[in-house]
Amino acid sequence: MNILVTGASGRIGSYVLGRFADECNAVGVDLKPCPIKDLKDLVVQGDLRNYEFVREIVRGVDVVIHLAAQVSVENSWNDPVYDAENNVIATINLLKACSDYGTDRFVYISSAAVYGNPKYVPIDEEHPKSPISPYGVSKLAGEYYCRVFSDRIHTVIVRPFNVFSARMDPNNPYSGVIAKFISIVKRKLLPVIYGDGKQTRDFVHIRDVVDFVEIALKRGENGETYNVGTGKEISILELAEIIMDIAGINGKPVFDKSRPGDIRRSCADISKAKKLGFEPKTDLRRDLEEIFEQID
Ligand code: UD2
């Protein structure tokens, strides 16, 4: 099977490419070179906004797993046109080329950002979609394009919640709270919590996300959307306490003003993914202990 992984240098894409690299004829594409030594030679650099390039890389491919995206909520406000070009136009280019070539399967990695501020938790796939950033809008637009193209190619949409892994660069603003907290406590400083720390998130380990991408590829139904998370929520204060405990730091986190537009609660309803056989194995404490050793 020939697989193309877009966004293969990224924080989810590199793991997805790594999973398929041994079993399949897998190649990646990304704007940037892949930082992972073993995968570097498998990743072609190129711009998915360029339709001619997209046609070239899609030719002969059986499956596309599309993760390439502008992923920063903040950047999407600074440059919403760049965000839309990378998240919408690039997705359309791929879908069009795939349908022209008769690609077997297309898996689109969306985001929980499409839900906006949850009206209820856990959030199921039918929850109203009401994005609160240009990024959320562009990811949702990508989903809608996938759905209309599902008349022509088999498309499956995956909505990850808060993904964490060892490949999170704490200096990169896209990396999220876990990388930041680990990096801070490793320098013997106290983590800074925005707001009261009672906001919650569903943190899912990359291993589970990659497992589910594989399931979605094999068994996901055409035109269907699946959440991927753990179904468990934890507050940011509890998260800070666990990470401080792992680091052996006594004391309390520092509280700062809350981040504008911060979502209060987030937790995935993963019943639909479970029906396909998904069983998340994330064990937050254990996985944080492991990642703690790997992040600087
Ligand atoms: C996640 C995604 C984002 C977008 C969004 C949509 C990540 C890394 N980001 O943003 O791309 O999809 O969901 O809803 O997955 N916090 C602190 N102190 C810090 C850093 C963060 O208190 O030093 C808080 C922050 O205010 C928030 C929580 O931690 O309440 C999680 O923040 P995040 O940036 O890791 O992720 P999130 O859910 O805002």
Assess whether the C-beta atom of 199 lies below 6 angstroms from ligand 1.
yes
Domain with CATH 3.90.25.10 in the chain: 166-202+232-269+283-292
Residue with tokens 């809008």: 137
User: How many whole angstroms from 109 Cα to the centroid of ligand 1?
Assistant: 18
> Mind listing the pLDDT tens digit for each residue in 151-202?
999 999 999 999 999 988 877 767 899 999 999 999 999 999 999 999 999 9
Name the phi and psi angles at 208, rounded to 5: -65, -40
Domain with CATH 3.40.50.720 in the chain: 2-163+204-228
Assess whether the C-beta atom of 256 lies below 6 angstroms from ligand 1.
no
Q: Parallel, antiparallel, or unpaired: how do β-strands 234-235 and 200-201 relate?
A: antiparallel
Ligand 1 atom nearest to CA at 258 = 26
Short-list 176, 217, 177, 216, CA closest to 24: 217
* Active centre residues (catalytic): 135
Segment 16-28 shows an average pLDDT of: 96
Assess whether the C-beta atom of 263 lies below 6 angstroms from ligand 1.
yes
User: How many whole angstroms from 65 Cα to the centroid of ligand 1?
Assistant: 24
Q: What's the pTM value of the predicted model, to 2 decimals?
A: 0.97
Assess whether the C-beta atom of 267 lies below 6 angstroms from ligand 1.
no
pLDDT bracket for residue 218 (50, 70, 90): very high
Ligand 1 atom nearest to CA at 178 = 35
CATH of 2-163+204-228, one of 3.40.50.2300, 3.90.550.10, 2.30.110.10, 3.40.50.720: 3.40.50.720
With residues binned 3-state (H G I as helix, E B as strand, rest as coil), the percentages for the chain, rounded to 5, are: 40, 20, 40
* Integer Cα distance of 135 and 132 in angstroms: 8
pLDDT over 90 at 143, yes or no: yes
Q: Which two tokens stand for residue 14?
A: 């590199």
Domain boundaries 166-202+232-269+283-292, corresponding CATH code: 3.90.25.10
> Mind listing the pLDDT tens digit for each residue in 86-126?
999 999 999 999 999 999 999 999 999 999 999 999 999 99
3-state secondary structure of 261: coil
pLDDT over 90 at 260, yes or no: no
